[in-house]
Amino acid sequence: MPSVREEDVQQGHLVVPAAGGPGVVLVHDVWGLYDHFRDLARRLAAEGFVVLALDAYRGFAERPRPEDPGAFMRELSDPDVLATIQAAVDRLRAHPEVAGRPVGVIGFCMGGSYTLLAAARVRGIAAAVPFYGILSYSHGLYAGPPLDPRKKPESPLDVAAEVRCPVLAFFGEDDTLITGADVRALEERARTAGHPFAVQVFGGAGHAFVNDTRPQLYRPEQARDAWSRMVSFLKAHLGTGAAR
């Protein structure tokens, strides 16, 4: 792996390749910023990107340990998380090793949902790659008492046609947390988006198929394919090489 510099920063974990490059904000799943996402940040930095693996829970008085992920996500404030993503994008855009080069956002599971929301609501994003982000707030993990509209003003599906940048979204065909109907609804809305918007569904894969720390869910072949497609997509829309 090419040489990279790593440091913990207020907003998360920053990984910088020796030559610098375009920026990527990486948004974790419901369990927070743990070693899997630091490892993904290193792998992406080795491809020539300055990566900020975001800690979306940095402002919490206590580190959350969600016993019921659905209940936790229902109470999480989307505007607050999007403000945290906005601050991370702004930080990377101003970072001397990025030096004005484009910045993208990628995210996984809960982070995938926020990546799609960010593609429509956060300024300064040049490309977005959500992995198996939950799309609807009307069923599944979000089923239950009515949601607080101040915390959940709009779902990823609600904003899909309003994205401000190219999007590449990944899903597993066997995902029990995201219905095929939701994915088809996303594909339909993607057709009216004002930017390129591709949806890739992998057969033989379910939720979290990229997460190699969860062997019961990890699907190596599909994960390698998705990673390769993501890197090519990011290089196409963010560029490569050292910042100038």
Any domain includes 243: no
Residues of the domain holding 78: 4-238
Any domain includes 229: yes
Domain count of the fold of the chain? 1
Q: How far is CA 113 from CA 24, 95, 156, 243, in A?
A: 16, 26, 6, 29
* Distance, CA of 206 to CA of 142 (rounded, Å): 19
Any domain includes 200: yes
- Could you say which residues of the chain have pLDDT below 70? 1-2, 61-64, 241-244
Any domain includes 244: no
Residue type, 42: R
Tokens of 108: 């996984």
Q: How far is CA 114 from CA 18, 108, 146, in A?
A: 29, 9, 20
Residue 62 confidence (pLDDT): 62
Residue 240 confidence (pLDDT): 77
* Distance, CA of 85 to CA of 99 (rounded, Å): 19
Tokens of 121: 């609501």
Tell me the CATH number at 83.
Answer: 3.40.50.1820
Q: How far is CA 233 from CA 39, 48, 118, 228, in A?
A: 20, 13, 17, 9
Tokens of 215: 């062997």
Tokens of 229: 């497609």
Using the 8-state DSSP alphabet, how is residue 91 labeled?
A: H
pTM over 0.85: yes
Any domain includes 88: yes
The answer to whether the CB of 184 falls within 8 A of the CB of 171 is no
What SS3 class is residue 160?
Answer: helix
Model confidence pLDDT, tens digit, residues 35-74: 999 999 999 999 999 999 999 998 776 666 777 889 899 9
Rounded CA Rg of the chain:
17
Tokens of 200: 């890739």
Using the 8-state DSSP alphabet, how is residue 146 labeled?
A: P
Any domain includes 139: yes
